[in-house]
Structure 1
Amino acid sequence: MTIRHKLVAVLAALFSLMLAFGTSLSASAAPVVVTSIPTGQFSLTVAMSGDGNRVYSATYLGSLSIVDTGNNQILSTTSLAGFTNLFVLQAHPSSDLVYALNSKVSGSEVVVIDVSGATPTITSRITVGANSKSMAISPDGTRLYVGNNGSTDNSVSIVNTTTNTLVATLAAPNAPTTAGARLDAPWGIVVSPDGSKVYVSYYDDDNSATTLPGLARIDTATNTFDIVKEFADTVHPRGLAVTSNGQSLYMANFGTGTNGQQWIEQFQTSNLSSLAQTQTLTQSSAVLKYPTEIALSADDSTLFVSFATASGTTGAVNVYPTANMASPTTLQVTGAGNVAYYIAPGRALSSHFAYVGSGMNLFLIGEYISLQRQTLSASTETTVTSSALTASGFSGTVTYSISPALPAGFTFNTSTGVITGSASTAFGPSSFTISGTDGTTTAVATVSLTVTAPGGNGGGSSNQLANTGSKSQLPVALIGLMFLFSGVAVYSGSIAIQRRNSN
């Protein structure tokens, strides 16, 4: 093995080790509400495509909006006739399928939507349980897990997404220590990164002597519960999030209206049978109430928590740096209709932003560089110039860098992130990662650059810009060197996508 090959192997191993232990690659500094996207009233549910290029937002009233994450513009809005209670969305990790949960008092449906064309098309409808309120998809996209909250149901439906058929229904488990009681109302569902376990929180909306809130784990090899824990009846768990290494589970307790009975909890999954508590964070604010949904950034460094009630017409989201959970940033999402809800975090490893559904619109929060993606194309000897970048959520002056180095004839402005120049010879699409940092926080954007010979594709155009979500092909060895020698984490979109899809 040559020295070069040894270096690649060592750096690749180091990168894999970092992912395995969920290392926080950059810390949150000053997350902000970047923008609101007018997806309509009751846009509570949101999901992100597997490649991170699109966000899907659905309303209770049956409309589906598709948003380009490169420029946060709505690509299309489609009315799905006959569906008036869309409650949850999930996107397939590697295809153009979106799953919408249409909740009904009896016979809820998973609606399979093909979004590959200009107009979304419903391809299948799968009947599950009653009054369904939650849904999660496995990392390989082969299974959907649906929580059914019907008064006589309280089950988890398991759907085979290859055949679009219901393969199993798991009734609510019995409470392990209270005789004659069972867990009630499955709400939060999350699948472990390796797909071997599914965690389910039970909200208990009956509050009867025979029902209890709790937390349970499903072994996906057998489709049976292998751990069941019950909580006191003042606990009402909802949203769940699991770290990228599968070692920690976060849970949002919706609780009661009393301060001190609402909190975020972290558990170690290796000792879940005893519910080993790592951190408990009490929500004591009289303004923020009912922590509802929860999500982690791809590098596990940032935790997003939505609150069902804030003040007036303003919803709220807490953004926690997981290294110091006691110091969140509270973001008021004005015009949210008093509700902030489902969360879709960015997929790139250094992304600390998320899209949050609400009672009124879709909101982008966190630390973000706009434009996230650009595509530049020109013919030879023709000057091309990219758009200037805007950084949101940084505490200091942002300086930009680009990797790999630009071809001869092009220059890069470290203050604006602008690429400009021309080339004498044609070359195919080349992807570049632009990293913006203030010394504490880092965020990235990508640019795809193509130069064609006169008369070829793109010939005659001096400056063509589009937001197409091109994937960077930055080598793992170069990524490792950048991390080791610069101390700043800069990762390409393709690496981040591969990691998230493998979870």
Structure 2
Amino acid sequence: MRRLSGLSKVTAVLIATLGLIAGVAISASATPVLVSTIPAGDNPTNVALSSDGSRLYVMSESSKQLQYFDTSTNTVTATYTLSSITDRRITYIVLSPDGTKLYAAGEPTDTTQPSTIYVIDISGSTPVIRSTITTGRQVAGLAITPNGQTLYAANEKSGTISVINTVTNTVTATVEVTSTTDPSKKLMSPWRVTVSPNGQYYFVAFSAYAGLAPGYSGYASLKVSDNTVVSQTEFGLYPSPGAQPYGLAITSDGQFLYVSSTVSGATANSWIKKIAINPNGSFGSVATTANVPNTPADIALSADNSQLFVTTRAAGSKFMVYPTSTMSSPTVLTLPGVQWETMIAPSKQTSSHFAYVGAGGALWFSSPTITNFYLVGEYLGPNNQVLNETTGTAFSSAALTASGLSGTVTYSISPGLPSGLSFNSATGVISGTVTCALPTSSYTISGSDGTSTAVATVSLTVTGSDCSSAALANTGIHGAPLTLSAASLLIIGALAAFGARRLARKK
């Protein structure tokens, strides 16, 4: 015998449906600007953004300081000197997908010796080094699988990739890629490594290094499951390698890989290629090749894949932004200080076009120590506000300032605000008084100049008077009163009776 179950489930479905958030369209052709120069430790080349975008981790190359930055205010909230790290410099960092660990690659003073990866626990109030892992010489890049179980280290001066089990913190394989042009040789000097979004393949850029000659430069795709090579592209044999692949970036859908090649003074071999990736991880056709005069190095994609951010690998200060639809006519910015092997941390917001850019290079050039990094792009600030409010008390969010947009900026918000709150489309301010407690909710504010759009988020939590339990039967969305007319009650009663009769017939 079937029994009638609670009809309140219908109410839950209705509330969830009304809470859907609409997407925001963004122009990829807007002109990013230098939003701010942010003070940090000595040579802050290494930057990594938390998955929710609320915290930026900055590791100084030479002073080994780890700093936490609040992205809502772009100010440092904590500074830790990791005194147990005695290496000459930190060359790269990467966050675990769950945000509890930071992996930092240290290069020893004696560069003929292996590098060390430090496993830093950042889940508590202070960072703690939990383990160390010995790899090959001079780790130039790190990447981690989406499930967080495998870490890859590109060992520039060993010509190998260390495959690391992050559960045991041990190297489980050391991978070399043999040349298909001449099987007696190999692809030489791995610089950067990245993993496909589905976690099935990883990609490595191989440059040239005299200490590993003779060998080839190129790039390769390998299987995560067994480290076998799926596909590879090779260039010349050292000392005439031609192109020297350096930076890598993969689209969020895994369909395209961007590769940068950096050769000082050789424009023909200084380029960025957009390469199709087949479902089996092999390389398809080259969709676009953009010749770049400024020796491109690190590259990173905006979250919506519409913009490619590029740093330079020379004693200049160039930062470029390419629209990926054309890979032409980039915006070129001059950033104060020397850029050399610096990292890029793009916003995690799907509709945002800004990035944090590391700075440094004093160990490579005769230049002063750099003590700042940069925020570049189309930006609304404060970008990530967190409001913790109380019922019955008036409050307001901060007014927004737009960078990278021109003329009059108009703001909109999604989803709609609860009863008691209003939104100012000229300032981007949320204000008012809420009478009933609200669970944490996220709102997206979009600022548009008519051509381009930038976004910010506001997280709102309201504690205090709980209206839900006392007035569940007569309370609507966000605590607004739900009034049912006599006609509405008749319709609901009729529907309930009809449903009961249908169920009775099936007994």
TM-score scaled by structure 1? 0.80
Assess, with a 3 A threshold, how the Cα gap between structure 1 residues 221 and 339 changes in structure 2: closer, same or farther: closer
What's 1:195 paired with?
Answer: 199
Larger relative contact order (CA 8 Å, sep ≥ 6): 1
CA contact (8 A) 2:69 2:76 kept: yes
CA RMSD across the alignment: 2.8
What's 1:146 paired with?
Answer: 153
CA contact (8 A) 1:229 1:273 kept: no
Pick which of 153-162 and 368-377 moved more: 368-377
Cα distance in 2, alignment partners of residues 281 and 24 from structure 1: 26
What's 1:303 paired with?
Answer: 308
Secondary structure at the counterpart of residue 343 of structure 2 = strand
* Residue of 273, 283, 287 corresponding to 1:278: 287
Identical pairs, percent: 41
Shift of 1:209: 5.9
Query: Mapping of 1:148-163 within 5 angstroms?
Result: 148-150=155-157, 153-163=158-168
Query: Mapping of 1:50-449 within 5 angstroms?
Result: 50-61=51-62, 62-81=64-83, 82-104=86-108, 105=111, 106-150=113-157, 153-170=158-175, 172-178=176-182, 180-206=184-210, 210-232=214-236, 233-270=241-278, 276-284=285-293, 289-309=294-314, 311=316, 315-334=317-336, 336-339=337-340, 341-359=342-360, 360=370, 361-449=372-460
Runs of 4+ in 1 over 6 A off after TM superposition: none
Give the partner amino acid of 1:134: G
What's 1:482 paired with?
Answer: none
Assess, with a 3 A threshold, how the Cα gap between structure 1 residues 332 and 215 changes in structure 2: closer, same or farther: same
Give the partner amino acid of 2:172: V
Assess, with a 3 A threshold, how the Cα gap between structure 1 residues 118 and 208 changes in structure 2: closer, same or farther: closer
Unmatched 5+ stretches in structure 1: 456-503
Give the partner amino acid of 2:204: V
Cα distance in 2, alignment partners of residues 208 and 273 from structure 1: 26
Assess, with a 3 A threshold, how the Cα gap between structure 1 residues 164 and 179 changes in structure 2: closer, same or farther: closer
CA contact (8 A) 1:254 1:292 kept: yes
Shift of 1:445: 1.7
Cα distance in 1, alignment partners of residues 125 and 308 from structure 2: 34
What's 1:481 paired with?
Answer: none
Assess, with a 3 A threshold, how the Cα gap between structure 1 residues 207 and 161 changes in structure 2: closer, same or farther: closer
- Could you say which structure has the larger radius of gyration? 2
Cα distance in 2, alignment partners of residues 185 and 343 from structure 1: 21
Assess, with a 3 A threshold, how the Cα gap between structure 1 residues 185 and 227 changes in structure 2: closer, same or farther: same
Q: How many residues align?
A: 433
Assess, with a 3 A threshold, how the Cα gap between structure 1 residues 224 and 427 changes in structure 2: closer, same or farther: same
Cα distance in 2, alignment partners of residues 274 and 424 from structure 1: 58
Shift of 1:261: 2.7
Assess, with a 3 A threshold, how the Cα gap between structure 1 residues 69 and 28 changes in structure 2: closer, same or farther: farther
Secondary structure at the counterpart of residue 323 of structure 1 = coil
Give the partner amino acid of 1:333: L
Give the partner amino acid of 1:428: P
Secondary structure at the counterpart of residue 231 of structure 1 = strand
CA contact (8 A) 2:143 2:194 kept: yes
CA contact (8 A) 2:246 2:260 kept: yes
Shift of 1:299: 0.8
Shift of 1:66: 1.4
Cα distance in 2, alignment partners of residues 225 and 412 from structure 1: 54
Shift of 1:454: 7.7
Assess, with a 3 A threshold, how the Cα gap between structure 1 residues 180 and 397 changes in structure 2: closer, same or farther: same
Assess, with a 3 A threshold, how the Cα gap between structure 1 residues 417 and 240 changes in structure 2: closer, same or farther: same
Unmatched 5+ stretches in structure 2: 1-9, 361-369, 467-507
Give the partner amino acid of 2:174: T
CA contact (8 A) 1:317 1:340 kept: no
